[in-house]
Amino acid sequence: MKSPVRIQYSGTLPDSFFALAARLYAGLPFRLQEAPRAVAALLELEAERNEIVLYTDHENMRLMGIFPQDAGEQAFFGFWETTQDVELNKAAFSLLQDDARKREKKKLSGPINFNTFHPYRLRLGVPPSWHAFDREPVNPPYYADLLLELGFEAQLRFESRRLGKASIPALYQDKKLLLEEVDKIPFDFIPVNRKVWQACEAEIYQLVGEIFSSNPAYKPVSLQQFRLLYDTTFAARLCPHTSVLLRHRPSGRLAAMSFCHPNYQSLGLPPELRANFARDYPRLHPKVLLAKSVGVHPGFRGQGLMNALGAYGMLRFREYYEEVIFCLMRSDNYSTHFTDSLPYEAARYALFRKSLT
């Protein structure tokens, strides 16, 4: 076994970093959605507040240690890709854990590529029938077993739920009353498109932070980093018929959001080419809607807005889509209840943690 080496990140990654991942996914029915330019931009921003160390043998495994420069007790690992080699991973994680202890870190969590705006979590078990949707965590099925072997345990659990064609009539019957009442709440429904995104960008950025800041794995990002993924190009990939912002009429504040778009995976777009609804939707078969980023501001919870967002998406869903996947919900989150009474196919995920004390 070739031993892993320790590389202090100083602005560049070795050529093996991306080549290794490409080989690992070559025979799988899904691929790692990783754009080198986007990774480089992210590392440049995050190097300002994290010490970054890469552990790799350049052929079979890569692992990134992330050490926040604040006084917190957490260290993280991310960008982890590997063959099914227990001893190699033991050696790499041992180096990482030693480095974490030297920096007085007491816990190691991952996989997380710095924060929850970027890829994090492992997909568990056998891949689902859809193989992968856009920006879904994907990995060979042995990854979770490797982490358990290394002494990690699941810290947070998540799931995605697919409602197939056969379940759609039952969904509409179950939510019939909700659909009839959706326009009676004191909120304006604002369909999301590029123009709306550009006009509301600062408000959207603030709303996203307020909705998700209480999540255990959440770390705030600058507006500059937010724009790496969420900008007018992102808005152009959204479905303009089901994506919406809710604005509270009395106060004028944004209260909730639902960002949905088709699953563009079947098109096999290269990571550098971002999907576009107007260009790509007509080429999709089947047409599957992804309910991706959905949430309600803490100050407006308990008013039925999560159901209102779901009902809004349903109003024109059957005109444009055959199936829907509710994506990456925390398993203990209220949002899971929207489909509890219906038959669905689930994929499950976890974020892992290990104590270093």
- Note the pLDDT of residue 1: 66
Same domain as 109, residue 33: yes
- Note the pLDDT of residue 334: 73
Other Cβ atoms closer than 10 A to 104: 11
Same domain as 142, residue 201: no
- Stretch (H or E) spanning 295: strand 288-296
Under 8 Å between Cβ of 210 and 297: yes
- Distance between CA atoms of 241 and 312, rounded to whole angstroms? 9
Under 8 Å between Cβ of 167 and 343: yes
Same domain as 215, residue 107: no
Residue % of the chain over a pLDDT of 90:
90
Q: Give pTM, 2 decimals.
A: 0.94
Same domain as 201, residue 145: no
Which residues have C-beta within 8 Å of that of residue 23, sequence separation ≥ 6?
none
Query: Which one of 91, 126, 158 terminates a domain?
Result: 158
Other Cβ atoms closer than 10 A to 337: 11
Look at the chain and report how many structural domains it folds into: 2
- Note the pLDDT of residue 341: 86
Q: How many CA atoms lie within 13 A of 227 on its CB side?
A: 9
Query: Which one of 158, 173, 197 terminates a domain?
Result: 158
- Note the pLDDT of residue 92: 98
Buried-state track 174-184, b at ≥16 Cβ within 10 A, e below 16: ebeebeeebee
Of 332, 340, 35, nearest to 161 by C-alpha is 340
User: What is the mean pLDDT for each group of 10 consecutive residues in the chain (357 residues)?
Assistant: 93 96 93 93 96 98 96 94 98 98 97 96 96 96 98 97 94 90 91 97 98 90 96 97 97 98 94 94 97 96 93 95 96 83 95 97
* Pairing mode of beta strands 187-191, 244-248: antiparallel
Same domain as 152, residue 171: no
φ, ψ of residue 149 to 5 degrees: the values are -65, -30
Give, in order, the Cα–Cα distances in Å from 91 to each of 12, 102, 104, 119, 181.
Answer: 23, 17, 20, 24, 59
**Domain span at 84:** 5-158
- Note the pLDDT of residue 137: 97
- Distance between CA atoms of 57 and 293, rounded to whole angstroms? 36
- Tell me the CATH number at 144: 3.40.630
- Distance between CA atoms of 301 and 314, rounded to whole angstroms? 21
Query: What single-letter amino acid sits at 260?
Result: C
Cα dihedral 210, 213, 215, 218, rounded to 10, equals 140
**In-domain check, residue 298:** yes
